Structures are given as C-alpha cells and as structure tokens.
C-alpha cells in the first residue's frame, strides 16, 4: 500500500512537471515564431472555422473511418 501511495505521488508530480515544461515550450515556440514574423490569430470564430472546414472533415472521415470514430469521441467529450 505504501508503494502505491509513493507511485501515485510521483506520478502526480511528474504530470505537473510535464505540464509546466510543455507550457514553457509552447511559450518559447510562440516567441520564436513572432521573432520570425509569424502572425498568430487568437480571436478565432470557432463555429465559422468548423463550418468552413466541415466538407474536408466529412471527406477525410469517409476515406478514413477510424478518423471519423476518433472525431465522434472528441465531439462527445466536448458535450
């Protein structure tokens, strides 16, 4: 039981460290991109984007049924 508690504690600490490292990597990548002249769009109209790309998603899902299954899983997780 003690080993299980230690493993759980280590796993939680590792997860937190990974999240912080990932966040730092993303921030650094965005800064690098901006230095190279990349423009980031942050106020995206997600509904309009989904509507505009839906034909592509439909085609790709038809060609690759596993992708369609994954997309349905993602959509159901969104609520």
Number of domains in the chain: 2
Same domain, 24 and 48: no
Same domain, 47 and 76: yes
Same domain, 26 and 55: no
Same domain, 24 and 58: no
What's the pTM? 0.53
pLDDT in tens, 9-68: 989 999 999 999 999 999 999 999 999 999 999 999 999 999 999 999 999 999 999 999
Same domain, 51 and 70: yes
Confidence of residue 78 (pLDDT cuts 50, 70, 90): confident
Left if phi > 0, otherwise alpha if psi is -120 to 50, otherwise beta: which for 40?
Answer: beta
* Residue 37 dihedral angles phi and psi, to the nearest 5°: 95, 10
What DSSP string describes 10-64?
Answer: HHHHHHHHHHHHHHHHHHHHHHHHHHTTPPPP-S--HHHHHHHHHHHHHHHHHH-
Domain encompassing residue 26: 1-40
């Amino acid at each position: 039981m003690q080993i299980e508690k230690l493993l759980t504690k280590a796993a939680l600490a590792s997860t937190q460290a990974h999240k912080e490292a990932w966040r730092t990597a993303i921030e650094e990548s965005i800064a690098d991109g901006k230095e190279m002249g990349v423009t980031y769009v942050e106020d995206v109209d997600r509904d309009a984007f989904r509507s505009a790309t839906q034909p592509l998603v439909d085609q790709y899902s038809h060609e690759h049924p596993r992708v369609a299954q994954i997309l349905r899983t993602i959509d159901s997780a969104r609520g």
